[in-house]
Amino acid sequence: MLKDSDTERRIVGSADGVAKVGGNTESLKVRAKRWSAAVKDRATGPLVVAREIVEVVDRWEHYQQQAEGKSAAQWLKVVFGKHHKMGPAYWRRRARAVDLLGESCRRTVHHEVAVWITHKVSGEDLAKARKALIAGCRRNGGIPLNMSAAKPIIYDLFGWVPQVTTCKRCEFLEALLKEHGIAVPEE
């Protein structure tokens, strides 16, 4: 597992597309390997590298030559696999979540939780949610909270009631049972 300090280096772009990171030069290919390794920690890895990826995407004109002329989205598909939807928007949402929740979220919540909570609440409520999620992670033995662990914490904090949804097929089957005189139990 990568430490935060491994990916928190400041990027300084150059005209030739080789970034100077912490005094060293690091090619796009080297970064891609490091990012792939970080993302293997599927829970928090995307939060750890999101900002750096967004910085590279924002300065893509400096890197495009190393990527053999591919667009940033095409190159990200090469790095993370064409079956994964990890384009620029994916990384921007995770970088925004880190900006809003703070650095500590990168090791306390699953990346999907971070994106979900930043879309659900804002302002002071976001600060309350952040504190509750950090406390929840501590109670969870330091293991990052996934959606099933985070939602009850957030629902309790804000007094939200989880909405029960039914699919169209279930609605159809329930109507069919009622049509034939079969009682459908209420929940």
The string of DSSP letters for 39-82 reads HTSTTTHHHHHHHHHHHHHHTGGGTTTTTTT--HHHHHHHHH-T
Alpha-carbon 120 to chain mean position: 15
Question: Alpha-carbon distance 60 to 88, whole Å?
Answer: 11
- The closest of 144, 155, 166, 185 to 46, measured between CA atoms, is 144
Lowest-confidence segment of 3-17, 26-40, 63-77, 118-132 by average pLDDT: 3-17
Q: Is 19 helix (H, G, I), strand (E, B) or coil?
A: strand
Output the pTM of the full model.
Answer: 0.73
Q: How many CB atoms lie within 10 A of CB 145?
A: 24
pLDDT at 32 over 80: yes
Tokens, residue 184: 């459908």
